Structure 1
């Protein structure tokens, strides 16, 4: 290829023998590409250069192994302290990508790895989009997760390409598509393996064929007369998940698409309200806290290949299923196939919802191996104990595992309430036992606590943390203490909610108080999700030091109502869905009463050093409990409330 004579700091531009221009983004000094002001300014210079000497086609690709483009530069977003700066940021991308969309030569985005936010908006401004079929390839517009909107053309071009219903679903939820789903949806023109991606990209551009048009119904729904109907349905769906006073961005997306064809510049006052809102500031704060958690998993190069899980109950079985889904070979041990079979059935049902290719589905199931005799423990890189919460039973099992596993294997317990120090004294090397504590439901809860006892082996902790990152979970380092961080703050919170029920308040009313505050689930339903048996086993930890647990908890537990997994707890569950009555009027101050013990306990755990600092505590409680993200976390909420 002939390299361009211009020197760019972040781009490489070359023209090949066929006259195709290849623009490779390799952002200077960063492991991931993002669309900073400097990157966008250089892209404008590239378009200037190609205007004077048009190529046969232009192909965008990434020079990073991490992916295509992660989106806009979030650091720059934090500097938008005036209305003019916010509008200018939107205007820059909107005009530049409109210019790209209008060039006379064919353009293509070669997407390998993540293609998110502004990255997808750039790709949508190209005539063609070629997705590379790899596990890391994801395409989406997740701006709503930051409390903002896709202002650089995404709200215009995504509905035009895949239809407004599918596009709004992606934009309003932040969902992303893998390469194959992107092709099926019409977002990608084709999906190819990495070994042929450059040739496939060149052939597609040189062919210069018209893109496949969306179906007639999609075009009609995207047209003027039917837009209000689509928008009304979208608002109804959003209203089930988010209240406008907490999360204004999804409602703004609907309005901008319906009334302004996705042009955010047509409503600058709306953009200003979003960009400078407390919700956006707090969600950006949550984003950076999430990135910090991801960073903990980079302290070791450890990569597990085999995992052995002991305990095929809901937690153990789902941990095993998740690890197998992420590509690891997993052996699952319990006392006989009759105990393991339900976990395999749950795994198959969960996989079938995610995996359309029958060969991939079979492959995932083949990686999940029933192992009643526990032979897999000997060859596993990570061994996880996930049996019921009983100190003596766990100690006996851990002692057996310690005698047979590899010397360098990570030995972990998934205990939710027991101290690691009370479990590790039976081991030949007590420091090798760590906690790797998942939350229910495993496939949905992103946080995993990595628990260190006094004297814990540093290398084992680093490996355990890397393993959590390897399976696409957020590792949170915590010290060994009853309930660690998440359960220790949930205990007093759920206890206070059940005390309110003991005082005569309806279950639905108690839950509604916290739903109105912004929680994704009420505390009583949360007890059902955790399991009433787990709540009872936590004992004094849940009861906040009192000897007696709430009467309502004891009554349901004694009646065998163990929560959602049993089909009945405080509520009844039909086909996995909760059956609730209509909540009564929420008493004034109820939400503040229920929150108070959670806030106090979070602050205490930071003071006690169970978690290193307030930001990590906020991150842990958000990603481990679903604490309303728009608040920025419990301690951040406390500071702002008292300010």
Structure 2
């Protein structure tokens, strides 16, 4: 913006940043992390920013700099956070405290510059990137669906450590800021502005520079949160809000397993009325958290989940998935179709008649309203989802997914009928949870093109898709299937075609052993409580009720697991008491919640939990030995995403390795 023919001040040699001074003395500072799809704040990048901030002070003192605008050169966003790849080394207590002090000093220097510093945000602005934006004097964000602002640190077993605690509370007040830090939630630009994190919205990325220039020229400065928001951090009200936060966090995060949110609340209770004091307290509270097993394991889970993307097509052009055809408008098929439409694809949903498709469209509309909110976006998503009773969408689809009844003959008949209409390189997939793919594929002229895409219920909430590889598949077609999963925002784990695949196979022994304990007279509430104490998201008896006792019995029999005849489990199934869906199973269900009695007293709940989880971990080891998944890492991330297995333990194989399962 007018930097041509302007004498540029002498600047340090830069690898991560670009700096240009224009004729109005506005300094345009652009971050562009080399050889990385996203910007991250690593050690070298921060060292350059430290040098730059010192240089800015000199330029301000000599009246050569009227203001600084911070922008990103990456298409996908501003700054994704600190460089997680450095966290293992940085967690060393002999390194981290000094590194944190330096980071604090850099951000303080930026905040204390005597000229305006403006952040122009598009796409992701997360973690350390958001903390840097908060150190700027004014924040402008693009108000589109790609902008996401937040603090994901709690998902890595830590909390903001670059001054974000105090600065976020200063801007948004304690309730909104602490909620953002404790939940790790990402906010859209409009919500972030409403909270006080952002000062100005623009419609398009190309408006950022012009609006930032105006902000510098008018010396705009962000207003801190008003008294009515700040009052919640004052005097006795701070203790009251801290206790309310503890109540909420306790329900979701066991203090022993996930110490970070609890430590953050402690820090807030002590220093929350003074942002500067709170920022300083990070130096004391943050380093011990980085060194915990929880943080190390959550980092491992983060890298494993990122690694799943590498299972997609690596060489040549990335496959495009514009159109999806789903056969079967039941809960599973309808929800897969809705999810694909939500993610921007044109979807045709096939069933025998419109009456069968109508409930799926109704559920889809609810999902779109919840996720997209704006009526025009909801209407656009609904327009992308088309009922198709005649199967006309098959010939145009890049991906065809079957999600009909679990019957081999019916599936074979369907696939042989649609095969002639398929595009030459379309993916052909089944969502079967139990039938060997080789058997289904035997009805096809080209059996090698059939893969499995096994989604989990509820589709909108569970991130995992098992990409099932059968004997005849090429590596390429499996990779294309994995690419499709990442294109719709799901995490693919490649699994060999074998009974139960990975997740159902490891879950069933765990659930059935718990059921057998109940058959022998043990208290189901105690069993569930022990599994949760171990770190599972819900107990195995409650899970069996959620899955459906009929489904559980059927899958158990397919996997060759014994279901005792004449026992309580068989009796409930025979009586049609199938769990949550019928209102009664092992528990009675009201408004979607199990009505549980009292748990029996147990000396060591966690030890009982370890005992309960042992069959799951044992079966995981067998799956790795039998090469059902490529390695122990894939087993760990698959079981975490598919069952909710305690992430703080790093997965079942890691937990056994560490002697914790």
What is the CA–CA distance in structure 1 between the aligned matches of 2:59 and 2:263, rounded to whole Å? 40
Equivalent residue for 1:417, pick from 410, 434, 446: 434
Asked whether 1:304 is paired with 2:310, we answer: no
2:557 corresponds to:
540
Q: Is structure 2 residue 260 aligned with structure 1 residue 249?
A: yes
Is 2:611 aligned against 1:611? no
Q: Is the 8 A contact 2:172 2:195 kept in 1?
A: yes
1:559 alignment counterpart: 575
- Structure 2 equivalent of residue 59 of structure 1: 69
TM-score with structure 2 setting the length:
0.93
Instruction: Indicate which of 70, 84, 92 corresponds to 2:94.
Output: 84
| Aligned mates of 1:333, 1:569 — CA distance in 2 | 33
1:597 aligns with 2:615: yes
Q: What is the TM-score normalised by the length of structure 1?
A: 0.95
Change (3 A) 1:267 1:72: closer
Change (3 A) 1:47 1:404: same
Give 3-state SS (helix, strand or coil) of 2:90's partner. coil
> What do the CA deviations read for 1:479-529 (whole angstroms, capped 9, x no partner)?
111111111111111111111121122322211110000111111222233
For residue 565 of structure 1, report the CA deviation from its aligned partner.
Answer: 4.2
**Does 1:131 pair with 2:137?**
no
How far off is 1:384 after superposition? 0.7
Q: Shift in Å at residue 325 of structure 1?
A: 1.1
Counterpart of 1:58 in 2: which secondary structure?
strand
Asked whether the 8 Å contact 1:87–1:265 carries over to 2, the reply is no
CA distance in 1, matches of 2:370, 2:31: 35
How far apart in 2 are the matches of 1:13 and 1:431?
54
1:515 equivalent in alignment to 2:532:
yes
The answer for the alignment partner of 2:39 in structure 1 is: 33
In structure 1, C-alpha distance between the alignment counterparts of 2:587 and 2:227, rounded to whole Å: 45
CA distance in 2, matches of 1:567, 1:361: 32
Alignment of 1:113 with 2:129, yes or no, is no
| Equivalence for 2:20 | 14
CA shift in 2, pair 1:567/1:303, >3 Å: farther
- Residues 1:406 and 1:317: Cα distance change in structure 2 (over 3 Å): same
- Stretches (4+) displaced over 6 A: none
User: 1:543 and 1:214, CA in 2 relative to 1: closer, same or farther beyond 3 A?
Assistant: farther
Q: The residue matched to 2:197 in structure 1 has which SS?
A: coil
User: Hey, what does 2:544 align to over in structure 1?
Assistant: 527
1:197 maps onto 2:197 in alignment: no
Question: Structure 1 stretch 491-500 or stretch 529-538: which is displaced more?
Answer: 529-538
Aligned to 1:229: 240
SS in 1 for 2:531: helix
Structure 1 gaps of 5+ residues are none
Question: What is the CA-CA distance between 1:268 and the residue it aligns to?
Answer: 5.2
SS at match of 2:615: helix
Residue of 64, 68, 71 corresponding to 2:81: 71
Q: CA deviation at 1:184?
A: 2.8
C-alpha distance in 2 between matches for 1:180 and 1:550: 58
Structure 1 Cα separation of the partners of residues 565 and 376 of structure 2: 49
Q: What does the per-residue CA deviation read over 1:181-228, in whole Å, with 9 as the maximum and x for residues that have no partner? A: 222322222232223232222223323334345343212113344211
Q: 1:305–1:563: structure 2 CA closer, same or farther, 3 Å change rule?
A: farther
Which runs of no fewer than 5 residues in structure 2 stay unpaired? Answer: none
* Alpha-carbon separation, structure 2, partners of 1:347 and 1:572: 29
Q: Aligned ranges for residues 560-599 of structure 1 at < 5 Å?
A: 560-586=576-602, 589-599=607-617
Greater alpha carbon shift after TM alignment, 278-287 vs 334-343: 334-343
Aligned partners of 1:288, 1:118: CA distance in 2, in Å?
A: 18
Q: 1:120-519 maps to which residues of 2 (within 5 A)?
A: 120-192=130-202, 193-261=204-272, 263=278, 265-266=280-281, 270-297=285-312, 299=314, 301-519=318-536
Whether the aligned pair in 2 keeps the contact of 1:329 and 1:368 (CA below 8 Å) is yes
- 8 Å contact kept, 1:35–1:73: yes
Q: Distance in 2 between matches of 1:465 and 1:443?
A: 18
C-alpha contact (below 8 Å) 1:264/1:271 kept by paired residues = no
Report the CA distance between 1:64 and its aligned residue: 1.8
Q: Which residue of 2 aligns with 1:632?
A: 650
Q: Distance in 2 between matches of 1:486 and 1:574?
A: 28
Q: What secondary structure does 1:78 align onto?
A: helix
How many residue pairs get matched? 642
Distance in structure 1 (CA, Å) of the matches to 2:498 and 2:603: 35
Q: 1:38 to 1:425 in 2, by over 3 A?
A: same
User: CA 1:468 to 1:304, structure 2 compared with 1: closer, same or farther past 3 Å?
Assistant: same
Given that residues 90 and 264 in structure 1 are in contact (C-alpha distance below 8 angstroms), is that contact kept between their aligned partners in structure 2? no
Question: 1:550, 1:535 → 2: CA distance?
Answer: 16
How large is the RMSD of aligned CA atoms in angstroms?
Answer: 2.1
DSSP 3-state at the match of 2:94: helix
Task: Determine the C-alpha separation between the residues in 2 that align with 1:396 and 1:586.
Answer: 54
* Aligned counterparts of 2:529 and 2:124: Cα–Cα separation in 1: 37
Indicate the SS of the match to 2:222: coil
Contact 1:491 1:543 in 2 (8 A): no
Q: Is the 8 A contact 1:86 1:271 kept in 2?
A: no
